[in-house]
Amino acid sequence: MADPFIIMCAPNGARRSKADHANIPLTPAELADCAEEILNAGASILHLHVRDDNGEHTLSVDKYREAIAAIRARVGDKLVIQATSEAVGIYSRQQQIDMVKALKPEAVSLALREICPNAESETDTTEFFSWMKAEHIAPQIILYNEADTLRFDCLRRAGVFCDQYPFVLCVLGKYDEPLSIEPLSDEAAARVAKKLGPFVDVLNPAGVPWAVCGFGKTEHLLAEVAAKLGGHVRVGFENNLHGRAGGLVEDNAELVRGSCKSVMHAGHSIASAQDVRKWSK
């Protein structure tokens, strides 16, 4: 399941700004530059957030189209572009769905707790996933904890996602509560693996493909841990700005290169966008 190994990159997120890091890509031109850099570093999926004219998070279809056009002009189809539907406390569930239906992205991430918050939403969630399947839109379902994972598995078995093996993203930590495991060592990697246990203990026996991302400096351990446990990884400035030594990295590509090195050292090959597309069909 983890070979070839997928390295996703989330280069900006919804909250960080130039005050956090001068090289965070926010404009279409900056995102195009970043796309080329992370592609050359080993990424196959770009997890895309866009900003409004004030630099704030937006689900504007026009802003998405502008950014996607700039990225495609630079790298063609060599990256899978995954739009986010993240609400960030601003957007309703229906607005998230409406954005996806208007944009029709190649791929999209969807937080389970946002897109299917309760039993009453399950029927039209199934209809939405059925529509995405017909439109060849690849969803990734975001899970934040054990409760999310157990509920996801129940819904999966009930056919809500119109796919017995949907791609999942497991999230460790929070933006305002980053995962902190010190010192960064082999023992720390074991503790990261333990934190992934509530996700992996459900997903692996079911054969569900997954990737992991984590807030904070511990991010650099995730590729190594995911490779050992049969998953994939997402890295980038959305979750972390620091390298193995603890200091700020130069750019997103540095984080991707670090993950690529860890995975190849473990004996895995690195997935291309075409590998991802073949696998996700």
At residue 133, the pLDDT reads: 98
Q: Which residues are paired to 5 by β-bridges? A: 270
Q: How far apart are CA 103 and CA 134, in angstroms?
A: 15
Judged against a pLDDT cut of 70, whether residue 180 lies above it is answered with no
Name every residue whose Cβ is closer than 8 Å to that of residue 231 and which is 6 or more positions away in sequence: 1, 2, 170, 196, 200, 209, 210, 211, 212
Of these ranges, 95-99, 184-188, 190-194, 276-280, the one predicted with the greatest mean pLDDT is 95-99
Q: Which two tokens stand for residue 132?
A: 């995405």
Query: Going by CATH, does the domain composed of 7-276 fall within 3.30.2320.80?
Result: no
* pLDDT single digits (tens) 235-265: 999 999 999 888 999 999 999 999 999 999 8
* Per-residue pLDDT tens over the stretch 191-238: 889 999 999 999 999 999 999 999 988 888 999 999 999 999 999 999
Q: In b/e form, how buried is each residue of 189-208, taking b as 16+ CB within 10 angstroms?
A: bebbbebbebbbebbeeeeb
Cα–Cα distances in angstroms (integers) from residue 80 to residues 83, 105, 110, 273, in the given order: 10, 10, 16, 6
Q: What is the pTM of this model?
A: 0.95
For residue 164, how many other CB atoms are within 10 A of its CB?
11
- If you write DSSP's letter for every residue of 243-270 in order, what string do you get? -TTSSBPSSHHHHHHHHHHHHHHTTPPB
Alpha-carbon distance 28 to 45, whole Å? 17
Q: How many CB atoms lie within 10 A of CB 3?
A: 15
pLDDT on residue 190 = 86
Record the tokens describing residue 68, joined without a space: 């996607």
Rounded distance between C-alpha atoms, residue 135 and residue 108, angstroms: 12
If pLDDT is split at 50, 70 and 90, which confidence band does 186 have? Answer: low
Contact by Cβ (8 Å): 160, 147: no
pLDDT 10s digits, 270-279: 999 999 999 8
